[in-house]
Amino acid sequence: MSDTNLVPYLLQMIDAAARISRYTHGMSEADFLASTLVQDAVCMNLEVIGEVANRLPAAYQEANGEVDWRKIIALRHLIAHSYASVDLQRIWQIVTVQLPNFSITLHELLRKAHG
């Protein structure tokens, strides 16, 4: 599969990350922990990111090792299958610390895919 064929996948992940950013913009951790609506929206979009990442060919994941694809996919599985035991403080940490860098990397991968 060429990088160009992966553009829709990258766009889906970019969109899900952007949604998370919009949903949590201006929130504190306490606000996040108090809002089940935002928690649900964030977790759903993290699931989307993980599901799409899981569909990327292994060769593409290996060639773009600056992203820890396995952790992203594992988070998706955790949220989907153990939702009641998800550590929301950890989710907040992912959203506020890791997601911004991941979004930048996704945009760089998209630029590479467009040639």
Whether 2 has a pLDDT exceeding 80, the answer reads no
* Mean pLDDT of all residues in 45-74: 97
Whether 83 has a pLDDT exceeding 90, the answer reads no
Whether 53 has a pLDDT exceeding 60, the answer reads yes
Going from the C-alpha of 24 to that of each of 48, 51, 61, the distances in angstroms are 17, 21, 28
Compute how many other C-beta atoms are within 10 angstroms of the C-beta atom of residue 12: 17
* Mean pLDDT of all residues in 8-18: 98
Whether 62 has a pLDDT exceeding 60, the answer reads yes
- Spatial separation of the C-alpha atoms in residues 50 and 76, rounded to whole Å: 5
The pTM of the full predicted model, rounded to 2 decimals, is 0.94
Query: Which structure tokens are listed for 94?
Result: 């992912």
- Spatial separation of the C-alpha atoms in residues 47 and 44, rounded to whole Å: 5
